[in-house]
Chain A
Amino acid sequence: MDRLIRDVASPECGGTCVFLGTVRSGAEDGPVTGIEYSGYEAMLEAELGRIAAEVGDRWPGARVALQHRLGLVATGEASVGIAVAAPHRAVAFDACRYVIEAVKQRAPVWKREHRADGTTVWVDPAGHPAAAGPA
């Protein structure tokens, strides 16, 4: 996160907004020890680049840095980090919200919950188990 903040820092920017998406432990049918994120890596990189470019187009002067982790992320750790700096705080907040919503809608990433009992379950967009996977 420190690196993302440094990436967007600029003397012209008076406000920086940060979002961290972190893995929660709660699940309807058992505690989660972590989430395994898999992704279409080439398209993820392209899509994050497009989202960042859209921020620049909609809010000239705004600077954005974002990263989505892939692989196993333990409960409590961050899977996605976003930093947006802008001359004024209203833009920083608006653009940061725009980025996370776009990432949620467009990033080709999938989640598999690792449960405390050793099983793994693919998670659908509603947060419900989509299908049982191999342990």
Chain B
Amino acid sequence: MATGTVRVLLFARYAELLGRNEIAVATVVPTTVREIVRRVRTECTGGAAIPERPLAAVNLHHSSLDAAVADGDEVALLPPLAGGRGDG
């Protein structure tokens, strides 16, 4: 069983809630985005404020929670995107 480190990035409201914008998660690899989210939510101070199913990106690509995560990957947890209401 291999182990590795995943770099988790937080932005905007999530970074504010946890008081940090980066977390190094040591984990069995490969793993999934879902598992990384679970680890952040349960192990980080303030982490419970992050939704169970947030938007996420792996290595600069929008990803599902089922997406695979490997050693050295960069997983970003994204608050709802600015987007706008469609009229601006």
Residues of A at the B interface (CB closer than 8 Å) are 21-22, 24, 37-40, 42-43, 46-47, 104-112, 122-127, 130-131, 133-134
Contact = CB atoms under 8 A, between A and B. Distances in A.
Nearest to A124: B80
A121 B88 CA distance: 18
Specify the main secondary structure of chain B where it touches its partner: loop
B62 interface: yes
Contacts of A42: 60
Given A42-B60, A106-B62, A130-B13, A24 B88 contact: yes
A130 B76 CA distance: 20
B13 A110 contact: yes
A125 B82 contact: yes
B81 A105 contact: yes
B85 A108 contact: no
21 contacts: A22-B88, A40-B9, A40-B78, A43-B61, A46-B60, A46-B61, A105-B81, A105-B83, A106-B62, A107-B81, A108-B11, A108-B81, A110-B12, A112-B12, A122-B13, A123-B82, A125-B82, A126-B85, A130-B79, A131-B13, A134-B16
Most buried by A among B76, B78, B88: B88
B80 A21 contact: no
A125 B84 contact: yes
Contacts of B86: 104
